[in-house]
Chain A
C-alpha cells in the first residue's frame, strides 16, 4: 500500500500519521510538498493535521487553493481514497470536496483530550476495521471542530450513511457532554457520496500505541490498509 502525505506550509501532524501508517504497513509513506508538481501514483492520499498557512484567513481556506489541491481533486474523482484529518478535514470542506464547515468549538477554546466516538458505518474502506455501533476512545486537538451544515445536507448525510463517526459518551450514548465541541448531530467525521473521501476531526493516528495511552485507532489503519491491499 503506497500512501502519499501532502505537506502544506504549517502542516504539523504529518509525522504522527506517517508513524501510524508505517506501524501498520511496515513502509514509510511518501511526503509530498504542496508545490511539487509531480505527485507519485498512490493508493491513498492523506491531508494531515496542523495549521496550514497558519489558518490565518479561515481554517483550511488558503490551503484549499494550493496548486496541489486540483490534483488531489482529480485523483479523488478517479477513485483514489483521500483522508483528511483535523486541518485536513477543514481543507477538504473549504475545497468543497466534503459538505459543511468546521466552526469554532462551542467553548471557543482549543481542546486537546481523549473523546469517545461511535462508529456509524463500517461498510467503507476506512471503517471496515470496526463494528457498527462500536465505541472507541481517541484524542482530539483542535479549536475549530464544530461541524455544521444546512439541515437538508445533514439529513442527506444521515440517509445515505455518510456519517462516519459521532461524538458520544464512554458507553456510546449520545449526550450534550459527549458532543464536546457542539457539532451538528454530534458529527465527528463524514464521507463523500462514494465513501472514498473521509474527513474527520479526531486524531486516530495518535491512538495506535499502548505506550501513548490507547490503541483504539489502530483498527482504523489496519482496516484501511487491508482494504487497499
Chain B
C-alpha cells in the first residue's frame, strides 16, 4: 500500500464516524485507514447498514414459527406455504432520497426491494407502498405526491410486477421528511432458495447488471443523518433507476437460478459493492479479493473509493461454482447485461481490493462486520395521555360528520394513486387495491396470498406500546377480513433521531407493543428495515412502524371483500364497542384535537374475534367483511356501502353511549360481516364467546340512521372520490 494515510479524525467525523469509532478502525487495521478503507468502515458502520441503535431492541421480536424458513438477516424473509412453495417478502424505506428527488427516490426504492426478493430466487408477484406525506397545505406536498406516485408507477409498471396495495396518509409531521416504504412479495420453490453466504475458496466473484457510475455515493450515510436546510444540495447522492435493466436482471437471474451455477448471490443495495462483498464474505466466514480494474464502469477516472461506495442501481454480486461461468456468461449475454469476473473467494478472511497494481484496501472482514458499534441508547417513556371525558365532546350531526370524514385526506379514496399503478399485470390479482387487503392468486394452485400494509402513527405518538401493538393487530385483522390466515410480517421502523431519549423511547415502546402482539397472534417478524433520523431541523416525524402483512388463503374461491352484495342481508358487528374517541380520526378531523390515549388493545379478544371471523368466512356465512379502524363503525359501514353501491339502514344507537362515540369510536378487535343467515352467525358467536349483534341491514341506495336522517351512498362516494383528484388538480 502506498505511503501513509492522510485520513484524520475530522475527516472521519465528516464520514459520520465518532472519535471512538474512528479509534476502533485504527485498532482493527493496525494503522490509520486510507480513504477507501475509511469509506468502507463509514458505510458498514452507518446506522443504515449496522442497525447500531436498533439492534438490541430488534433482537427482542419473535422471528420463528412452524412456517418460517428464513427470518431476519437475509435479503428477505421466507415463509413456507406448502406444496413445495414459499413466499419471500420484505419492506424497505427510501425516505430521504424521495424527499430530495421524489421520482427517482421512490422509483429506486421499488427497484431495491424487488432485488431483495429475486436475489433469493423468488419471482416477484406483488408490490405494496406505504406513503406518508406532509400536510396537504404544505407548499411541497403536491409536488412530492405527484413525483413519488409516478416514480413508483414508472418503475413497477415497467418491470411488470403489479402494485396491488398500500396506504397513503397526510400529516404535518412529515412536511420536511416524507416516508416512502416499498414492500415486495415473491414466490419461490422451497428447493430453489438462494442465500448470500460466500462459500468455496477459489470460486469466482461475478458482477452482473448495470455499470457503476458516480451516483448515490454515500447514500447509506445520508440515510443515517438528519436533514438540515441544505437537503436540496444532497440531490447528487440520490440514485437514478432504470427499470428496463431491472426487468432484464430479474429474467436473467431467474433463468440462471434454474441451473446450479450459483453458490451465493447478493444485490448491491445501500453501500453498493462494499456491503454486498463484505456481507457475503462475513456470512461465509471467508475472505474476498476484488480486482477493481475489472468492474464495469460508466464513467472514466473513478477511484477505488467511488467504485466501492457507488449506489448505482440494478447490479448484483454472485459467487459461482467452478465451471459455472460459461452458462452464466451465456445467459447474461442473451439479456444484454454486463457480466464480469471481478474477484475470487479466499480463505484469508480479509477483504482485499486491488486497483492499478496497488492494494487499495485490506480489511479483516470479521471485525468489520461484528465489531460494528452497538448502542444501548438512553430512552425515555412518554407520560400516558389522560383519558377524554366523553361529555366534553360536543354533539354534532353524525351524517354531516361522516361526510366530512369520508372526504378527509386520511379516508378519501386513493384511486388517483393506484390507478397510476399497473395492478393487474401477471393476471393473478383477485382483489384489487382499495379493500382491507389485496389478494393475489398463486398460479397453478388454488392458493392465494393476502397482503396489506398498516400503521396508525397518531396512536404510536400518544402511546408507543399500544401503537406498536395496534399496528400489528390491524395488519392481522386486515388479512383476516378477506378470509386469510395471517402468516408473518415485515416491519419498516420509521423514527426520528435515536440519539434523543424521547425518540428512542418511542422506538423501544413500539417494539415492546409489536412483540406482545406478534406473540399473542402467532405472527412472527421475518424481515424488515429501520429508518432513523427522520427529522428536519430537529423536528421529528410521528413514530411510524409500518407493518407489511402476508396471509395465506387455502382456496381462493373463499375470499371475500368489503362490498355489500344483497338487499336484505344483515350486518353483524363482531367485537365490543365502548365508544373510545381518544386519539381518533373523528377527534382530529372534526374537533381538531389529537388528544387522548389510543384505544386499549386486548390481544386475547383480538385473537378470538379474528379466528371467529375467519371461520365464518370459510364456512361461507359471510358474503362481505370489513375490519373497523380509522373512523370506527360508521366509516366502515360507509366504505362497505360505497364499494358495493348499496345502502344500509342502521338500527337505533344503543342508549348507553353518546351517538358519535358509538358511531366513530375506534375500539379495536372489531369487524362487520354481511350475512344472509344472521341466526347462524349469532349462534356460532355465542358458542365461541365472541360478542356479536346485528346493527342493521343492506337496503336501498342511502345510509339511513334512525333519528338522524339519511345520506345517499352516491353523494358519499362523490365526496370520497373527489378529494385527492381535486387536490392534485390545484396548481
Contacts and interface: CB of A to CB of B under 8 A. Distances in A.
27 contacts: A9-B247, A9-B248, A9-B336, A13-B160, A16-B425, A20-B427, A51-B158, A51-B160, A51-B247, A55-B158, A110-B153, A110-B421, A111-B419, A111-B420, A112-B421, A112-B422, A112-B423, A139-B424, A141-B424, A206-B424, A211-B430, A211-B441, A211-B556, A212-B427, A212-B429, A212-B430, A212-B441
B157 A56 contact: no
B244 interface: yes
A41 to B, nearest CB: 24
A113 interface: yes
Nearest to B416: A109
A209 interface: yes
Interface string B539-577: 000000000000000001100000000000000000000
A51 to B, nearest CB: 4
A174 to B, nearest CB: 22
Nearest to B432: A213
Interface string B425-445: 111111010000000010000
A43 to B, nearest CB: 22
Given A9-B244, A109-B150, A112-B419, A54 B158 contact: yes
Contacts of B639: none
B251 to A, nearest CB: 8
Interface of B: 150, 153-154, 157-160, 242-245, 247-248, 334-336, 418-430, 432, 441, 556-557
Given A54-B158, A54-B244, A16 B427 contact: yes
Nearest to B154: A110
A112 B420 contact: yes
A56 B421 CA distance: 19
A137 interface: no
A211 B448 CA distance: 11
Interface string A48-60: 0111011110000
Interface in A29-48: 33, 35
A143 B419 CA distance: 11
Interface residues of A, number: 32
Interface of A: 9-10, 12-13, 15-16, 19-20, 33, 35, 49-51, 53-56, 109-113, 139, 141, 143, 203, 205-206, 209, 211-213
B155 to A, nearest CB: 11
A120 B675 CA distance: 42
B336 A110 contact: no
B424 A10 contact: no
A54 B242 contact: yes
Nearest to B146: A109
Contact of A53 (B244, B334, B423, B426): B244
Contacts of A203: 424
Contacts of A213: 429, 432
Contacts of B420: 109-112
Nearest to B415: A113
A26 to B, nearest CB: 15
A13 B426 CA distance: 7
A83 B54 CA distance: 55
Contacts of A9: 244, 247-248, 335-336
Contacts of A141: 157, 422, 424-425
Nearest to B243: A54
B247 A10 contact: yes
Given A50-B160, A112-B420, A112-B423, A212 B428 contact: yes
B34 to A, nearest CB: 39
Contacts of A205: 427
A141 B335 CA distance: 25
B104 to A, nearest CB: 15
A109 B248 CA distance: 25
A56 B336 CA distance: 16
A10 B244 contact: yes
Given A111-B420, A206-B424, 8 more contacts: A9-B336, A12-B158, A12-B159, A51-B157, A51-B244, A54-B245, A203-B424, A212-B424
A49 B160 CA distance: 9
A213 B439 CA distance: 12
Contacts of B422: 110, 112, 141
Top-10 shortest CB links A-B: A12-B160, A54-B244, A16-B427, A51-B158, A141-B422, A112-B422, A110-B420, A206-B424, A110-B153, A113-B419
